[in-house]
Chains A and B, each alone.
Chain A
Amino acid sequence: MSAQQSKALSIKANAIGIGLRSPHHQQIVEELPAVDWLEIHSENFFTENTLNRRILDQLSTSYPLSMHGIGLSLGSTDPVNQQHLSQMKALIDCYNPALISEHLSWSSVNSRYFNDLLPVPYTKESLDVFCDKLNQVQDVLGRALHIENPTTYLAFKNSNIFEWDFLNEIEQRCGCGLLLDLNNIYVNSVNLGLDAQQYLREINLSAVKEIHLAGFTRKQLDNGEILIDTHGSEVSEPVWQLFSQIREHCNAPALIEWDTDIPALEILLEQVAIARKVQSKFESIEAVSA
């Protein structure tokens, strides 16, 4: 598929999508289930002439797409990895997705990658580094990214900016959108005492262009319990409550995200049905532009 052939399908307001994961590829191609959009992990589709790309070729004509990156490492002091950016641009040019997103995190330093989303301190220096790199990326791609709030299991004592203010400032400086992961907010509220209600009050909801819904795992430590953002279970009740709350003010497309212990597709579709039920009282038919 060439850039000329691709035509973006837009994602409607209040649309509910699912993350496209390899155990479901064939079933989705054959059955085209009634989900509103699909999100891929961009890096898994960089290489041309692969099974993944063939699947994407097929599905991109039936579903609007979102590309969710995990490797740009925007919070790292390393320079932007130009090869990675070129691969990302080639993928975007090929499929012209409705949404593109990345994380408020870092995953590499000194050119070594850790295949994880690591925490940044919320300081002016971090903000400058992040915004500088995000601006470089957006300049190359010619369009805005959406930045996702992270799960963190620790905080840095030198952080002197609230996470919501940090994200709002990124949005202001870079003209990007925000991806609000409600499970991350909940996990951080339990683990670190973050005030989820204040988060929803303070974050700039008009900049929120996508919502993530996922499940967590409880991990017992010697001296207590911690929630781990595994994306390996159903969306929890407190997260559904946050979703219901945010739907009063925000109609951004939402995604059921499930990355580990991936269940049958039908389970994800049940989660989609719950999301639709939760938001049914707030729905409008306003299109969200690509």
Chain B
Amino acid sequence: MKLSQLQNNFSKHLLHEAVDIDALDITGPFPPEQLLGLYRNNFYMSFRDYLLACFPSVEALVGDEFFEQLTKAFTRDKSLECASIEYYGAQFADYIATCEQTKPLPYLADIARFDWAVDRAKSVIEFNEFPFEQLAQLSEQQQLTIVFSTPPNTCLITSQSPVFDIWCGVQKGDVDGIDMQQSQSIVIFPNATQGAQYQELSVPQYEFISAVYRGESLQSLAQMSDFQQLLQYFISISLINNFRIQGEL
């Protein structure tokens, strides 16, 4: 058997696809199926361990056994396309959202998004304070054209479920008594001391940050009610930490 065919068949076996094991011409201390099973087990366990590190709240909610099934199905269906596994988890929440097995848990995909956002926020190491001095140097006309920006890896989640309460409940080990009819919006962003900061947003706060995300100018944001209060607040918690003049990079 040519090397390319052997590697193709070996990988098929890892992925539970039909393959003629005898044709692989394997020998060793145990039957070929058992020896190949060691590699298959290592393969799925290494992906499971990685996904567990990224999505601890998902695992806490569904339990070890279901999490293993879920990560196994994900690993089989979504190929890793580069040697580094660092960003592989980016697709996990969308996978959960389309997965038949998780339909009884409609909040699970958003919990996964929350976990992933925390993981990514923690990876940020450069922080800056809002540049008030630079802002003061702009003319009033120029100031109206600025658009605000948030730290890298900031994530805004709006969910039909009480995802903030569930996620926080998982961290405390108590998810009882949550009103499951609530919808909630959350922002997760990097924090120099905490790694990741997260908080639930009120409707006006969510609308304001969404407008910032859309790149609306200061002139446009200023039309919103409580504009000054919201802006000051988000600057104070370093969620808005920079600006640029509209149209400039």
Contact = CB atoms under 8 A, between A and B. Distances in A.
Given A158-B25, A223-B30, A46 B3 contact: no
B44 to A, nearest CB: 10
B83 A226 contact: no
Contacts of A47: 86
A282 interface: no
A221 B30 CA distance: 9
A129 B3 contact: yes
Contact of B83 (A54, A70, A192, A193): A70
A106 B85 contact: no
Interface in A163-196: 191-193
B28 A110 contact: no
Interface stretch (A7-15, A31-39, A60-68, A115-123): A115-123
A114 B3 contact: no
B249 interface: no
B30 A114 contact: no
Interface string B45-58: 01100100000000
Contacts of B82: 71, 81, 83-84, 113
26 contacts: A44-B86, A50-B123, A51-B125, A77-B7, A81-B83, A83-B82, A108-B83, A109-B8, A111-B79, A111-B81, A112-B80, A113-B79, A114-B14, A115-B43, A115-B50, A116-B42, A118-B7, A121-B6, A123-B3, A125-B3, A153-B28, A156-B6, A156-B26, A156-B27, A157-B25, A157-B26
A261 to B, nearest CB: 11
A72 interface: yes
B80 A113 contact: yes
Contacts of B80: 112-115
A224 B35 CA distance: 12
Interface residues of A, number: 51
Contacts of A108: 83
A121 B3 contact: yes
Interface string B123-163: 10110000000000000000000000000000000000000
A205 B143 CA distance: 70
B27 A155 contact: yes
Given A115-B43, A191-B29, A46 B84 contact: yes
Interface of B: 1-4, 6-8, 10-11, 14, 24-30, 32, 34-36, 38-39, 42-43, 46-47, 50, 79-86, 123, 125-126
Nearest to A71: B83
Contact of A110 (B6, B11, B29, B50): B11
A221 B47 CA distance: 22
Contact of A226 (B10, B29, B43): B29
Contacts of A118: 7, 10, 39
Given A72-B83, A110-B11, A116-B46, A154 B32 contact: yes
A50 B125 contact: yes
B28 A77 contact: no
A63 B28 CA distance: 41
Given A84-B82, A118-B7, A155-B26, 13 more contacts: A73-B83, A81-B83, A83-B82, A116-B42, A116-B43, A126-B3, A154-B28, A156-B6, A156-B27, A157-B26, A157-B27, A219-B38, A228-B38
A219 B30 CA distance: 13
Interface in A115-155: 115-116, 118, 120-121, 123, 125-126, 129, 153-155
Contact of A71 (B36, B79, B84): B84
A115 B10 CA distance: 14
A76 interface: yes
Contacts of A4: none
A228 B6 CA distance: 23
B11 A109 contact: yes
Contacts of B38: 153, 219, 226, 228
